[in-house]
Chains A and B, each alone.
Chain A
Amino acid sequence: MAPPTTEYLKDSFMKRLFEQGLFTDFTIRCQRHKWNVHKAIVCGRSGYFRRLCTSDFKVSRSSERQRDVQFDSELQEAAEATIEICDDNPDIVGRMLIYLYNPTYYASSADWDLYQECTNAGVFGEAKRRQALVIPNDESCTAKHLPDPLVVHAKLHGMSKKYDIPDLQHASCVRFVECVVQAIELDPTFTEYTCYAEDLLDAIDVVYGSKQDSDQILREATVYLARVFMKTIDEHMNNDGMKDLEKEFRDIVRSEKDFAWDMASIDFEKARFTCKYCHQDFIVTKKTSDPPECECAGRGLCGRCVPVSERSCSYCGLPGGCRLIEWENRPRK
């Protein structure tokens, strides 16, 4: 996995602000971790924190402080506002905060290669992690470690939806799809890297699970990858590890009804779109090479890209056209 890191921030001013915790005026807690952050930055990108900081609700302070005593006594002096985030994975919260301090989603296209190297070379070791001050040296964090980018992107996606960070929502979504595409290209049979299969199973759990809400695109990409996985099951017969994974997969299909339904119903020859403009669903079959159209097509709007002809996508914000559309239009194996 690509561990959370501030490396990409280089030696920027933002990086120093975040790592050294200078002039922070707000504290975010999650389980036993805490981050000192800047309201100006956090509220600027997240609707949730903006509302939190501007509303008249109680700002948790005193009650939290008592708990602080055993954990971090320095903080007592700081008269900073504090928020306790329950229910969320501190690892993902950390990644989200890094994103808030970062001009772009850290998983830029070069990151994938970097990730490949790093997992082997172990550049981001435990020591490095601790140094980054992002994820404290804590058992609860490292115990359930996330080896797979799909799950990270999916979780970040859910997080961004919860905390109203539209940039991150789009960026993680695009990255998720990109990872799916890349996984299929690298190892279409899942024989070389069993970790892809594990990743897929975890991703299904996250995307279709009840802990978060995921966009349709994520679901479609997941289903697409799962179909590829199903088709190659025969080739895994000799692989013990794969046998277990296959069994797990079947369990998931049985338990996640939404996933099972999607597996059966999504027809990749027909893409369904919801127009961002008129909110109408419309279906486009892949056989026609025309770009998807809805009733708004007259105005140059399609379901996800506005307008299609333009070189940069207004949905995913990527230059050179939308990769989501590209992905959906690519020839199927």
Chain B
Amino acid sequence: MAPWQGLTNNDTVDFDVTWGILEGALREIHAKNASKLSFEELYRNAYKLVLKKKGEELYNRVSGLEQELLRENVRSRVVQMVTSPLILGASGEQVGGQAHQRRADGERFLGVLKNAYKDHDICMKMITDVLMYMERTYCQDQRHPSIYAMAMALFRTQVLRSPATDQSDINVMAILESAILDMIAMERKNEIIDRPLIRACICMLEELYETFQEEESSKLYLTSFEPKFLESSRIFYHREGQDLVANADAGTFCRHARKRLREEDERCQQTLSTLTDQKIKSVVDKELIGAHIRDVINMEGTGVKHMLDNDRLEDLSNVFDLNSRVDPKKAALKDAVQKRIVSLGSEINNMSSGAVVPPPNNASEQAKKEEGEKDKNVNQQTASAIKWVDDVLTLKTKYDRIWEEAFKKDSNMEKALEYSFQEFINANQRSSEHLSLYLDEYLKKGAKGKTDLEVDANLDKGILLLQYIQDKDHFENYYKKHLSKRLLQRKSASMDIERQMISKMKMKVGNTFTQRLESMFKDMALSEDLTKQYKTHVAELGDPDTTRIDLEASILTTTMWPVDSMVRRNEDGSTKTACIYPPVVENARKRFEHFYLKKHSGRTLSWQPQLGSADIRATFTKPDGKTKRHELNVSTYAMVILLLFNDLPADQCLSYEEIQARTSIPENELCRNLQSLAVVPKTRILKKDPMSKEIKPGDKFYFNESFTSPYMKVKVGVVSNAGSKAENSDERRATKRKADEERGTTIEAAIVRIMKQRKHLPHQQLIAEVIQQLANRFQPDVNMIKQRIESLMEREYLERGPDPSKPSYTYLA
């Protein structure tokens, strides 16, 4: 509503008289004598003036009065405090010697300015109260800035923006800013400054605006002070970063940078404004951290490599924090950590393969000695395999801890760690074998000096490594081999743990991977049942078995068990395993075969005596006529050999050739079994003539009646066939060949699966899909895939596409 012009008469108010009262009161307020004045009276007078349409005049008079007071009283007080060091400081000249003086002057100057502003602020608030009616009607209707805003703007123009001295063009604002910046620079040099004083001045700048509209962005603090502060900080940190990189080590740099960040944070909280918080930090990030972090991480001797090697978790966490400030991907730190892990990993790889390198063989040495050394080597290899896994696990534990404690479980870093472990683990060709050996070590019975908890923990860790191995099919082969040995020779510490392992692997790697392992367990269980059925069957026959042979048969499904790898090749490369059983045993065998084939017609049983074992009871007659009985646990072959002596008079002997002829046990198996029976002191059930370590053709064997043992049960191990050994190079080659064959069929199967579904696919896409499908099991070789495709085309599963420039294939049903 527009004010109504024209004055209505009745009780006229004399403007000058009323204004006189008000002016006096306002001056009193500025003189801090407000408590003498009556609010009611002043309000009433102002109200009357506005009511009489004198609002505009009143407004102008008040602003005139304020302007005069500011110019005459406040400004002169402030300007008095401006000294020459302050002016020099503001004009950008660096006067080193006067630092102390400048600081004292600055504090005095800030103090006066702060008080002047505070007084002005308080007075204006009171005056606003008095003139409230004018503000609510006149100012609102006319859209004038409020008296308070007007007075604050006057403070800006009349005091802050006024020249500091008569002759110079530097204004009070510039001096204020340079004084504050000066003090902040001092604080950065660890001097104590008057923070509340600066905070008060900053508050003043935050409350003042460039315009009457008082938009957030037009705060004097933001328009004037902040840019200058940021610029001076930029210069400071730029210089400091260079100094630090040149003179300090990496740990110190990071600690210092963090300290600076903390300081800036505190400064924004306590001295300046929280508005600047992000901005100043980004300056520090950019100038101090971003510009140097890569240099610091790679710093010779003290960088991340040094920290990792010496477990400097605190330093590492500093580096991590700083790096993540400037780069969310933390590329620099990631690179450094990855480099270090891969180099440590290759060291571990080299150490283990270094141990494997056989000592230089002298060609003139005897073949048998070579053999013995080979065995020793194999044992060493097992140990080194376990050491390799242990080393890798130690490394992993160490880096897991670093990741957890220093890298705050960052997912980026986790990926980097995983990637680098994968890289060096797969760089070792034998990692699958090593891992399987390691697991075997812990799953085997009689893991010495290891508590259950330890075993559990170690197995879990082993499983962890499994994730990193790319050629999982290789691992499966090895594991199967070791598992079958454990199962058949009953060496597993506990079936429960075995099953747990399988289910753990299932979780980590997937269903298809453990299918065959599971079926091995199933076979074992089925066999147990079958043996029981067989026993009742025999009992029902009513034919009392005089020989009292308890036959326990394990029926293994050929495709699921690694039968091939369980058979040691003879020297001629054949895999003949059969032997001539003694009649009693042969009877039992035949009876079982009959029983089994009746149950499952159409199956073939092939006996694997090298995998079996037998409990036999032997009677030893001492020279004094006393007899002693022992229960001997021997391999099937050893059983066959020993039974030969049953029919032999006590003083007679059998020669090596005789034994071979009567049993037809393959030569290498025979040698080993005779060795274990006649050479190993603790289980010397046969005497050998001549007495030597090696078994040679022409050796004679006697039954050793004087055999003694403190135990009732004696276990006769088969030399160098017990336990899992690392493969020697021949075996490894064979395994590799086999694995490649298996891969070939797996790849073919995958190709056919894909093509069956898609019918038609371009070459590149087919290869990509095959790789993707098999990634879980192994990294297929592209050449191998190509070979398999060729082979499938030969067999007319696939057909080449018509366009040779774009190779593609079509599935032929």
Closest Cβ of chain A to B55, distance in Å, is 10
Cα–Cα distance between A209 and B9 once the two chains are bound (Å): 9
CA distance A85 to B47 in the complex (A): 13
Asked if B44 and A86 sit within 8 Å, CB to CB, the answer is yes
Interface 9-mer from A144-152, A190-198, A212-220: A212-220
Q: A52-B39, A162-B133 are in contact. Are A210 and B44 (CB under 8 A)?
A: no
Q: Does B361 contact A (CB under 8 A)?
A: no
Q: Which residues of A contact B10 (CB under 8 A)?
A: 209-210
Nearest residue (CB) in A for B41 is: A86
The stretch that binds A, out of B29-37, B217-225, B648-656, B672-680, is B29-37
* Chain B, 424-476, CB within 8 A of any chain A CB: none
Query: Do A57 and B34 have beta carbons less than 8 Å apart?
Result: yes
CB-contact partner of A56 in B4, B42, B126, B132, under 8 A: B126
Closest CB-CB distance, B13 to chain A, in whole Å?
9
Given contacts A57-B38, A85-B40, contact A258 B6 (CB under 8 A): yes
In the complex, the answer to whether A51 meets B132 with C-beta atoms within 8 Å is yes
Given A210-B51, A216-B1, A257-B8, decide whether A55 and B39 contact each other with a Cβ distance below 8 A: yes
Contact with B along A172-215 (1 / 0, CB 8 A): 00000000000000000000000000000000000011111101
Residues of the B chain whose Cβ atoms lie less than 8 Å from the Cβ of A209: 8, 10
- B43 at the A/B interface (Cβ < 8 Å)? yes
Report if A58-B43 is in contact (Cβ < 8 Å); known contacts: A209-B8, A257-B6.
Answer: no
CB of A57 within 8 A of CB of B126, answer yes
Complex CA–CA separation, A58 to B9 (angstroms): 33
Distance in angstroms between the alpha carbons of A208 and B44 in the assembled complex: 19
Pair B40/A83 contact, Cβ less than 8 Å: yes
CA distance A281 to B99 in the complex (A): 61
With A210-B10, A210-B11, A213-B137 in contact, is A60–B40 under 8 Å at CB? yes
Q: Are A210 and B9 interface neighbours, CB within 8 A?
A: yes
Q: Cα distance A182–B711 when bound, in Å? A: 124
Interface check B129, CB cutoff 8 A:
yes
The smallest C-beta distance from A67 to any residue of chain B, in angstroms, reads 14
Q: How distant is B123 from chain A, measured CB to nearest CB, in Å?
A: 10
Q: How far is the CA of A60 from the CA of B1 in the complex (A)?
A: 36
Q: For the complex, count residues of B whose C-beta is within 8 A of A.
A: 29
A164 CB contacts on chain B under 8 angstroms: 132-133, 136
Q: Inside 8 A of B693's CB, which chain A residues have their CB?
A: none
Beyond A86-B44, A210-B9, A210-B11, is A58–B4 a contact (Cβ under 8 Å)? no
Q: Is the CB of A258 within 8 A of B39?
A: no
Return the contact of A57 from the options B9, B39, B47, B136 (Cβ within 8 A).
B39
Which B123-156 residues have C-beta < 8 A from chain A? 126, 129, 132-133, 136-137, 143
Which residues of A lie under 8 Å from residue B43 when comparing CB positions?
Answer: 48, 52
| Residue B334, interface by CB 8 Å | no
Q: CB distance A58 to B132 under 8 Å?
A: no
- For B39, what are the chain A residues with a Cβ–Cβ distance below 8 Å? 51-52, 55, 57-58, 83
Q: Number of A-B pairs whose CB atoms are under 8 Å?
A: 72
Q: Is B102 an interface residue (CB 8 A)?
A: no
Alpha-carbon separation in the docked complex, A279 to B139 (Å): 12
Asked whether A7 is an interface residue with its Cβ less than 8 Å from the other chain, the reply is: no
A47 at the interface (CB under 8 A from B): yes
CB-contacts of B162-196 with A (<8 A): none
| Given A87-B44, A164-B132, A210-B11, A60:B143 Cβ within 8 A | no
Which of A47, A55, A215, A279 has the most chain B CB atoms closer than 10 A to its own CB?
A55
B480 within 8 A of A: no
Q: A256 near B8 (CB under 8 angstroms)?
A: yes
A179 to chain B, nearest CB (A): 21
CB of A210 within 8 A of CB of B34, answer: no
Mark interface residues in B7-39 (1 if CB within 8 Å of A CB, else 0): 111110000000000000000000000111111
* Cross-interface CB contact of B52 among A83, A210, A215, cutoff 8 Å: A210
Measured in the bound complex, the distance between the Cα atoms of B4 and A212 in whole Å is 13
Q: Please, which residue of chain B has its CB at the minimum distance from the CB of A217?
A: B1
- Alpha-carbon separation in the docked complex, A157 to B660 (Å): 130
Nearest residue, chain B, Cβ from A56: B34
With A57-B35, A257-B6 given, is the CB distance from A48 to B132 under 8 Å? Answer: yes
Residues of A within 8 A of B44 (CB): 86-87
Taking the closest CB of chain A, its distance from the CB of B632, in whole angstroms, is: 103
Q: How far is the CB of A115 from chain B (nearest CB, A)?
A: 30
Question: Across the interface, which residues of B come within 8 angstroms of A55, CB to CB?
Answer: 34, 39, 126, 129
Instruction: List residues of chain A with CB within 8 A of the CB of B38.
Output: 57-58, 60
Give the Cβ gap from A42 to chain B, nearest Cβ, in Å.
Answer: 14
Complex Cα spacing A55 to B43, Å = 12
CA distance A232 to B1 in the complex (A): 30
Cα–Cα, bound, A13→B38 (Å): 33
User: Does A84 touch B at the CB level, under 8 Å?
Assistant: yes
| Cβ–Cβ < 8 Å partners of A87 in chain B | 44
| A102 sits at the interface (CB 8 A) | no
Interface residues of B in 35-80 (CB under 8 A from A): 35-40, 42-44, 47, 50-52
What is the distance, in angstroms, from A186's C-beta to the closest C-beta of chain B? 30
CB neighbours of A211 from chain B (8 A): 51
Is A274 engaged at the interface, CB distance under 8 Å to the other chain? yes
Tell me, in angstroms, the Cα distance from A87 to B38 when the chains sit together.
Answer: 15
- Whole-angstrom distance between the alpha carbons of A146 and B7 in the complex? 27
Chain B CB count within 10 A is highest, among A58, A84, A87, for A58
CB-based contact B51/A212 at 8 Å: yes
User: Which of A58, A83, A162 is B47 in contact with, Cβ under 8 Å?
Assistant: A162
Centre residue among A48, A56, A58, A83 by max chain B CB count within 10 A: A56
- Chain A nearest CB from B807 CB (Å) reads 64
A16 to B51, CA, bound (A): 37
CB distance from A221 to the nearest CB of B (A): 14
Answer whether A52 and B40 are a contact pair too, CB < 8 Å, given A210-B51, A215-B1, A258-B8: yes
Sample of 20 more A-B contacts, CB < 8 Å, known A58-B34, A84-B40, A258-B8: A51-B39, A51-B129, A55-B34, A55-B129, A56-B35, A57-B38, A57-B126, A58-B35, A58-B39, A60-B38, A86-B40, A86-B44, A161-B133, A164-B132, A164-B133, A209-B10, A210-B11, A210-B51, A211-B51, A257-B8
21 contacts between A and B (CB under 8 A): A51-B129, A55-B126, A57-B38, A58-B34, A58-B35, A58-B39, A60-B38, A83-B40, A84-B40, A85-B40, A86-B40, A161-B136, A162-B47, A162-B133, A164-B133, A164-B136, A208-B8, A210-B10, A211-B51, A257-B8, A274-B1
Q: Which 5 A-B pairs have the closest CB atoms?
A: A57-B39, A51-B129, A210-B8, A216-B1, A56-B34
